[in-house]
DNA sequence: CTACTATCTCACGTTAACGTCAATGTTATA
DNA sequence: TATAACATTGACGTTAACGTGAGATAGTAG
């Protein structure tokens, strides 16, 4: 498994090194460290970062809100490991139900956001129409 | 034309009075003033505010970005007045073309945002599916 | 091993978007 | 017209999300 140092990750994700350190500080990523303390990011870390960035940019989630989202994907990534470690089926079921709930909430938020964006879009299109009518009259 | 004082507007728009004063400070709204200096908001002001809030919340536009948007709607609202004042047809046409350009850009941004949100949604739905499979296996 | 470059950890600075007094002025009501 | 209930203008405080050095270490190419 290849590992990347902070500068590669920064350019790959279009973030600054400072931002990456900050994201670690608030618990959004947890890259491993080398013997000497240098951060080493896995491809999984990078993928997670890209998703975070997308959610931050496009959904306007705060970094605090994103920590919740991170936990869910984290748990899903650890799924197999948990499978082996957690003998307790009931506990496992509870976790899945919890995650399902979180996802439902997120999907609900996304749907509401979509409909509000559509409203905005319709509004803008109406304005554009009025403008084009205005242009037509000038001929 | 009924006019509203700051507290009514604040509750109507679900903003604080401080926020309304701040929005005026950075030029997002310009309510008239009473003789004594009290802010008086028209229904048009309120409508504009609500659109701003929606764009801020759902599109994640910064207040600075929104100033541009405000100008466009402003110009459209002043359309008739301009019609009478601007005898120069060519100038008028240029203004309309400018506004059309701005709107096109906004619509483009909105479309891109929509597609990225859909990508996020698809991702979340996939996760949910995996979770539900996991739950099914536990039975 | 050396020299050079990249990374690390403080720690203080910055900006947007408000919050929170305090002192003063304005409106509405009895 | 007095007085309670709002409003207004400073002006300083706050929080999130980083920016920007400084000084000390780690990694790497020759």
**DSSP structure string for A63-117:** HHHHHHHHHHHHHHHTHHHHHHH---HHHHHHHHHHHHHHHHHHHHHHHHHHHHH
Q: How many CB atoms lie within 10 A of CB A25?
A: 9
B68 phi/psi in degrees, rounded to 5:
-65, -50
The answer to whether B115 touches A114, Cβ cutoff 8 Å, is no
How high is the pLDDT of residue B1? Answer: 84
Q: Residue B4 forms beta bridges with which residues?
A: B41
Of the candidates B93, B110, B127, which has its C-beta nearest A117's C-beta?
B110
Which residues of A make CB contacts under 8 Å with B?
A: 51, 54-55, 57-60, 72-73, 76, 79, 89, 92-93, 96-97, 99-100, 103-104, 106-107, 110-111, 113-114, 116-121, 123-125, 127-128, 130-132, 134-135, 138
Q: Is the CB of A53 under 7 A from strand D?
A: no
List CB contacts of A7: < 8 A, sequence separation 6 or more.
A17
Over its length of 139 residues, how does chain A's per-residue pLDDT go in tens digits?
899 999 999 999 999 999 999 999 999 999 999 999 999 999 999 999 999 999 999 999 999 999 988 887 777 776 656 655 666 878 888 888 988 988 898 899 999 999 999 999 998 999 899 889 988 988 7
Residue ranges in chain B modelled with pLDDT below 70: 79-87
Q: How far is CA A56 from the centre of its chain?
A: 6
Instruction: Kindly determine whether residue B73 and residue A121, on different chains, have CB atoms separated by under 8 Å.
Output: no
How high is the pLDDT of residue A87? Answer: 67
Chain B hits for A114, CB-CB cut-off 8 Å, are 114, 117, 121
The answer to whether A93 touches B135, Cβ cutoff 8 Å, is yes
Q: Which nucleotides of D are covered by protein (CB under 7 A)?
A: 6-9, 16-20, 25-27
Chain A hits for B100, CB-CB cut-off 8 Å, are 128, 131-132, 135
A27 phi/psi in degrees, rounded to 5:
85, 25
Protein fold of A1-61: Multidrug-efflux Transporter Regulator; Chain: A; Domain 2 (1.10.1660)
Best CA proximity match to B90, nearest among A129, A139, A131, A127: A139
């Amino acid at each position: 498994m290849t590992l990347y140092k902070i500068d590669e990750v920064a350019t790959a994700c279009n973030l600054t090194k400072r931002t990456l350190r900050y994201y670690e500080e608030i618990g959004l990523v947890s890259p491993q460290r080398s013997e000497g303390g240098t951060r080493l990011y896995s491809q999984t870390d990078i993928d997670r970062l890209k998703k975070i960035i997308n959610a931050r940019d496009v959904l306007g989630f705060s970094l605090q809100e994103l920590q919740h989202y991170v936990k869910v994907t984290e748990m899903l990534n650890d799924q197999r490991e948990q499978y082996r470690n957690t003998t307790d089926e009931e506990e496992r079921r509870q976790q899945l139900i919890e995650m399902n709930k979180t996802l439902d909430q997120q999907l609900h938020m996304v749907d509401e956001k979509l409909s509000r964006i559509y409203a905005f879009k319709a509004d803008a299109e109406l304005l554009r129409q009025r403008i084009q009518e205005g242009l037509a009259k000038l001929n």
